[in-house]
Amino acid sequence: MPRRPRLAACVALAVVLAAATACRSRKAQPGAAFPPAQTAGPERAATPAAGDPWAKFRRVPTEYMGDFGDLRALLPFWPRLPEPGPDDWLTHFPEHAQTTANLLARASARARDRTMGVAIQPILPLDSATTRSLRPAARFLEIVYQCPVRVRPAMATPAAYFRNRKQLDASRLLQMLGTSRPADVWGFAGVTAFDLGIEELNFVFGLGAPDTGVNVTSTMRQASPDPVVARRRMLMTMAHELGHALGLAHCIAGSCLMNGSNHLAESDAQPALFCPHCTAKLRALRGIDPARVFCGLVQFFEEQGLTADRDLARKACEALKNGE
Ligand SMILES: [Zn+2]
Ligand SMILES: [Zn+2]
């Protein structure tokens, strides 16, 4: 009998919270999927010293963040995490900060192996918007994770079809992807334009098994009449899920790609970039070069018509280059 994977479900909290919520929750089981070895909740937040750039990062005590060296240059302009509204993620799931030490302690051998990359696995059925976004997604992931990313030929998964629900069974897809994962990847990202469900919930946006680095995302409920918006959602969701595959917990340090989100408006308001805290963690784990990431993103976002993301990337790029 196959072992059921430990799931970090990007499940539809809408099902739990309110049926009308256009949810794009990225994780279920808060506190279970990402138990922090050390935590720093708001109740422990120290009052930052005057002039301390970490003062912008209200949820994380200054002394908790460590010395990020050159990345401190990003703090004065990095957007802070907004106060969560009634429907927002942190109102329902008051998460704690994850330190770099915690990430390094929990990361898998694959996540630590800097020779490994990412493979994207398109899963039929696909629509034209999703198909056209596969190459840009690979390029985006190459820039932010600084590793090889390839797109595999699309696969059909009739055995995962929920015949009575017009959905693919996301749990079954994870099992199937787990058995076909290439040996040279730390992240294996399935993507489909078909709706996803699991036995327990009537739909999910995606599902991940952090222990194996496998995840699956559906673009169906993230669609938009604006193709720029639709593509941005797909890129962000894939990068976010792959962050979990590396062991990253949700971010509460600042506005960030790794923030949890409970609905599309919340995730649309987040930047398509890792904040300075998560960037520092990725540097410690994967050896990424932050200047290369942010400077590479300037051109990418420009090409994609994502001007707000481009402007933030440009500020970060220039701040890091000026600090050299
Ligand atoms: Zn998440
Ligand atoms: Zn972050």
Cα(306) to centroid(ligand 2), Å: 19
175-204: pLDDT as tens digits? 999 999 999 999 999 999 999 999 988 888
218-274: pLDDT as tens digits? 999 999 999 999 999 999 999 999 999 999 999 988 899 999 988 899 999 999 999
Q: State yes or no: pLDDT of 279 exceeds 80.
A: yes
Cβ atoms of 26 and 261 within 8 Å: the answer is: yes
The H-assigned helical ranges of the chain are 13-17, 62-65, 89-92, 100-106, 109-112, 128-145, 170-180, 227-246, 264-268, 276-286, 290-304, 307-322
Cα(3) to centroid(ligand 1), Å: 23
Cα(283) to centroid(ligand 2), Å: 13
Q: What is the mean pLDDT of the chain?
A: 82
Cα(323) to centroid(ligand 1), Å: 32
Alpha-carbon gap, residue 161 to 233, rounded angstroms: 25
Listing DSSP states for 209-249 in one string gives ETTTTEEEEE-GGG--SSHHHHHHHHHHHHHHHHHHHHTPP
39-65: pLDDT as tens digits? 333 333 334 444 554 454 555 655 556
The pTM score is 0.83
Cα(156) to centroid(ligand 2), Å: 35
**Which residues are within 5 Å of ligand 1 (an ion), measured at CB?**
26-27
Alpha-carbon gap, residue 112 to 93, rounded angstroms: 28
Cα(97) to centroid(ligand 2), Å: 10
Alpha-carbon gap, residue 208 to 216, rounded angstroms: 6
All domains of the chain in start order, with CATH: 8-35+52-322 (3.40.390.10)
